[in-house]
Amino acid sequence: MDRPALTDPTDGVLVLAGTPIGDVDDAPPRLAQELAGADVVAAEDTRRLLRLASALGVTIGGRLISYFEGNEAGRTPDLIRQLADGARVVLVTDAGMPSVSDPGYRLVAAAVEAGVRVTSVPGPSAVLTALAVSGLPVDRFCFEGFPPRRPGERSRVFGALAAEPRTMVFFESRHRLAATLRSMAEAFGGDRPAAVCRELTKTHEEVKRGSLAALAEWAAEDGPLGEITLVVAGAVRDATPVSAADAAALVAEREATGVTRKEAIAAIAREVGMPKREVYNAVVAAKPPAP
């Protein structure tokens, strides 16, 4: 298999290669070409990559190294040196696109700073796949990655997102799914629509849709297995005008959940359609006079 041609054979290039999130037949055709022609293949899990390469009928001719969360800081400078020397480095993670809640961002940032060309082989994405099949609005969305593991921090983050109007996409471990859904129900409201997407593109693919409260109960009872992607509808803004005093009261309620005042003011301002400065002034005015 021919090696992909560079614009200038003396120039190195970093290739972020998307890999299947489940079904190996979803691998982009260019993935096999890049794996065969790379000088260096940096993989999150080398054994898993070798299984994928075998399934694709590809022999990796270049140097194969591991590149994961535990060693990326130490491996990045060496990869940058090889890129500067003209190497074609292909970065792959276990599933989906490198650097999206996976190793890669550190290397991309260093390559950009060093003036190295960065390109990609687009591939399957759990974020977009889950969003598309969720049945929730897709015109505007945001990706929030993995929620914090600690309950208090998780509640604080969800409290700050309670007024987010865009559809939100999260990754989550099956072990924390029920707790996360309960925390979301408390912060966003139990009736907020959501979808739990499990094992996307795999044999046991399942998309469970419903309210956050119902999904939390289902997760606690059934303990779903596999890779989990959560899609949660955004907040619907109330068309009823809110007074300054009411806005200040809403900020106080949000602060009581552990959200900082700054975050609460920003969130309430978005939720009620009021400038942040007006909400801030209302909060200051609502303070009781000093004794």
- Report the distance separating Cα 90 and Cα 242, nearest Å: 53
Average pLDDT value over all residues in the chain? 90
Residue 167, CB-side half-sphere exposure with 13 Å CA sphere = 21
For residue 182, give Cα distances in angstroms to 178, 218, 223, 231, 286. Answer: 6, 11, 14, 14, 32
| Residue 7 pLDDT greater than 70, yes or no | no
Name the nearest CA neighbour of 194 among 153, 151, 144, 120: 144
pLDDT at residue 4 in the model: 45
Mean pLDDT value across residues 52-74: 94
pTM of the model: 0.74
Mean pLDDT value across residues 194-219: 95
**Cβ-based burial of 57 (10 A; exposed 0-12, middle 13-18, buried ≥19):** exposed
Mean pLDDT value across residues 148-169: 93
Q: Does domain 13-124 have CATH number 3.20.19.10?
A: no
- Regarding the domain with residue range 127-232, which homologous superfamily does it belong to in the CATH classification? Tetrapyrrole methylase, C-terminal domain (3.30.950.10)
pLDDT at residue 263 in the model: 85
Mean pLDDT value across residues 164-176: 95
The predicted-structure confidence for 28-61, as pLDDT tens digits, reads as follows 989 999 999 999 999 999 999 999 999 999 999 8
Mean pLDDT value across residues 222-241: 84
237: confidence class by pLDDT, cuts 50, 70, 90: low
289: confidence class by pLDDT, cuts 50, 70, 90: low
**Cβ-based burial of 127 (10 A; exposed 0-12, middle 13-18, buried ≥19):** buried
pLDDT at residue 272 in the model: 78
The predicted-structure confidence for 248-280, as pLDDT tens digits, reads as follows 998 998 888 888 888 889 888 877 778 888 999
| Residue 145 pLDDT greater than 60, yes or no | yes
240: confidence class by pLDDT, cuts 50, 70, 90: low
Domain residue ranges of the chain, discontinuous segments joined by +: 13-124, 127-232, 244-286
